[in-house]
């Protein structure tokens, strides 16, 4: 049986959330981002006509589109509306994967025998639009790759169906940049040998592509040929990532405790970004010398950024640690995870901050987590005696 995979994407999500709240924003060039030195988190189609794109510096965006209205953005609002959409989809979909704050995959294989897959999906999209007031695009095809590409081609508010026999005809004329794994470096490399269309890429020998690009070459070749067996991973709010540190000697040294917490946050945040997770719930745990254990948590806007999560962790610790007894253990847990990348947390950030994260993550990935750390958290260096819990539940 051919699979039936739906990709749903909320159109210009941040912009749509703001317009849902204030109808006066409809029809004007709108940029969501932060400050003169910040970057574009999202922009309306009216702004895109002038060349404005996500992750572009705000100053450059305003040079391209001087009449654009810039708004700081409200991540609490965006997180809540994302949750509302998730609940609607989760109630109806047999298998739902939340790929990011505004992007979803549904596996509805076999549903055509009872409802008609396209009709059912269209009705579900209309339900989302009616109940949330947010525009949503979708496409239906045989796998994640084709469905995602088709959604992009159908926007805004597009509803495409690409049956198995038409997959290659649909893909062939498109640019290879439409393939999710093909970034700018790969595009430039392939362009130099005349490979710019998916058809040309699909007709290349897979071995040649693998020699040129490396281990990802075969995966890119498969996607160019409409082959993708990646399953839709069921979404659950119970996913979490955590770490705990047991001290060799019980301590009441506040400065030391905060340094260890900072290092733990940095370690978990790096793991979130490496595995493309965003967290919405932060929990701090302490265990006193007499083994009494207490926890406190708070909700946060979806993020994987050290500087944002550190602030929440320190606030929770201050509220939690009131007895001033010696501690034997402290721990942190990030939960309520969804798939996503750091780009949705751009409102307070400068381009320099984003470049710093990218550079630090690159060094950590290549040389190890403690190859580069913030000075304040450098004292946290896990060893075999520490009770370290690194898990995705």
Q: Which residues are catalytic?
A: 103
Of 23, 40, 39, which Cα lies nearest the Cα of 31?
A: 40
* φ, ψ at 124 (rounded to 5°): -65, -40
Query: Any bridge partners for residue 333, and if so which?
Result: 242, 283
Q: What is the CA radius of gyration of the chain?
A: 23
State the Cα–Cα distance between residues 235 and 381, nearest whole angstrom. 33
Of 219, 229, 179, which Cα lies nearest the Cα of 199?
A: 179
102 is in an annotated binding site: yes
State the Cα–Cα distance between residues 114 and 120, nearest whole angstrom. 10
Contact 215, 224 (CB under 8 A): no
Q: CA–CA distance from 98 to each of 123, 283, 348 (Å)? A: 19, 22, 25
Please spell the DSSP secondary structure of 114-177, one letter per residue. TT-HHHHHHHHHHHHHHHH---EEEEEESSHHHHHHHHHHH-SS-EEE--GGGHHHHHTTSBGG
Contact 315, 291 (CB under 8 A): no
Helix (H, G, I), strand (E, B) or coil at 281: strand
Binding positions are 9, 102
């Amino acid at each position: 049986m051919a699979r039936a995979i739906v990709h749903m994407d909320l159109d210009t999500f941040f912009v749509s959330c703001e317009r849902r709240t204030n109808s006066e924003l409809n029809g004007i060039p709108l940029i969501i981002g932060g400050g003169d030195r910040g970057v574009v988190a999202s922009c309306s189609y009216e702004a895109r006509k002038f060349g404005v794109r996500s992750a572009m510096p705000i100053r450059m965006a305003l040079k391209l589109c001087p009449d654009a209205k810039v708004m700081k953005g409200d991540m609490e609002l965006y997180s809540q509306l994302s949750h509302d959409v998730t609940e609607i989809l989760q109630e109806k979909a047999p298998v739902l994967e939340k790929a990011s704050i505004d992007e979803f995959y549904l596996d509805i294989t076999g549903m055509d025998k009872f409802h008609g897959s396209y009709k059912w999906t269209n009705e579900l999209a209309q339900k989302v639009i009616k109940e949330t007031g947010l525009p949503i695009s979708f496409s239906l095809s045989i796998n994640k790759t084709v469905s995602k590409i088709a959604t992009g081609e159908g926007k805004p508010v597009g509803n495409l169906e690409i049956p198995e026999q038409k997959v290659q005809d649909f893909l062939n004329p498109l640019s290879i940049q439409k393939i999710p794994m093909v970034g700018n470096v790969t595009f430039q490399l392939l362009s130099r040998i005349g490979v710019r269309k998916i058809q040309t890429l699909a007709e290349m020998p897979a071995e040649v592509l693998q020699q040129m690009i490396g281990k990802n070459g075969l995966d890119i070749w498969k996607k160019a040929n409409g082959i993708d067996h990646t399953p839709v991973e069921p979404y659950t709010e119970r996913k979490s990532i955590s770490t705990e540190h047991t001290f060799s000697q019980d301590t009441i040294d506040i400065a030391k405790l905060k340094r260890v917490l900072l290092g733990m946050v940095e370690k978990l945040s790096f793991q979130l970004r490496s595995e493309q997770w965003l967290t919405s719930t932060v929990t701090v745990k302490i265990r006193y010398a007499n083994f009494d254990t207490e926890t406190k948590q708070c909700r946060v806007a979806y993020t994987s950024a050290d500087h944002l999560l550190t602030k929440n962790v320190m606030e929770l610790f201050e509220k939690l640690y009131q007895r001033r007894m010696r501690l034997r253990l402290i721990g942190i847990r990030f939960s309520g995870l969804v798939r996503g990348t750091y780009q949705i947390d751009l409102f307070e950030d400068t381009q320099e901050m984003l470049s710093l994260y990218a550079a630090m993550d690159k060094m950590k990935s290549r040389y190890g987590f403690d190859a580069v750390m913030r000075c304040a958290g450098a004292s946290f260096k896990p060893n075999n005696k520490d009770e370290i819990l690194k898990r995705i539940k």
